[in-house]
Amino acid sequence: LTGTSREQRAFQYLLAHAIPGDPHHILQTFDQWCYHCEHLSCVGPDKGRIVERVLLERAPLRVLELGTYCGYGTVLLAQGLPPGARLYTIEGDPRHAAVAEKVIRLAGFSEQTVELIVGPSEEVIPHLREKHGLMKADLVFMDHWKRCYLRDLRLLESHQLLAEGATILADNVLFPGAPHFLQYAKTCGKYHCKVHRASLEY
């Protein structure tokens, strides 16, 4: 009825209640909105802890996120990066990207730390090296359309964008599910697989 999207309403709530430049508080305020106002398919705090643990263990210098959405996962990743690291995040929907850009900057991350790229992942990935300077990713966080997981993993492989020992972290592979991606990851012989059990967000 307001003519604004759920994502825009969430951002207005952030503006009113979150502390600018405080990534942790931005995420907490997002969580409050999603628990008490309207559901958004963000990573959420439970699965967020898994992401934080992986970041702490791996300390990746080059991170690629597929599926920026509102920027929740982007802020979560960016706040856990080691000094000098850079995050590239790809969002296919320009409306979501417009909200995410504001969220990322509200959290205090500059374009030097977080680069938001708008476009379909299958079109962006082949040009990450020459257009955006991403030579190889140490960590890839997949949180976009599940049917694209396998296609985009193979694109990353074919364009040699995965660093030696890179980590692929993929959300929601069991539900709604990415069975072809899981089967490939488990049987192709290139990856050691671990499934993290978690509840759905919020």
* pLDDT tier for residue 201 given thresholds of 50, 70 and 90: confident
Query: 180, 174, 173: which is closest to 151 by C-alpha?
Result: 180
The predicted-structure confidence for 142-196, as pLDDT tens digits, reads as follows 999 999 999 999 999 999 999 999 999 999 999 889 999 999 999 999 999 999 9
Prediction pTM value? 0.96
- What is each CA distance from 78 to 54, 108, 109, in whole angstroms? 13, 10, 8
**Distance separating alpha carbons of residues 66 and 82, to the nearest angstrom:** 20
Q: Which domains does the chain have, with CATH numbers?
A: 6-188 (3.40.50.150)
**Distance separating alpha carbons of residues 31 and 87, to the nearest angstrom:** 22
Does residue 32 surpass a pLDDT of 70? yes
Helices 149-158 and 179-187: crossing angle in degrees, nearest 10, is: 40
Helices 23-36 and 6-17: crossing angle in degrees, nearest 10, is: 130
* pLDDT tier for residue 1 given thresholds of 50, 70 and 90: low
SS3 content of the chain, % helix, strand, coil (to 5): 50, 15, 35
**Distance separating alpha carbons of residues 178 and 66, to the nearest angstrom:** 15
List, by residue number, the catalytic residues: 143, 146, 171-172, 201
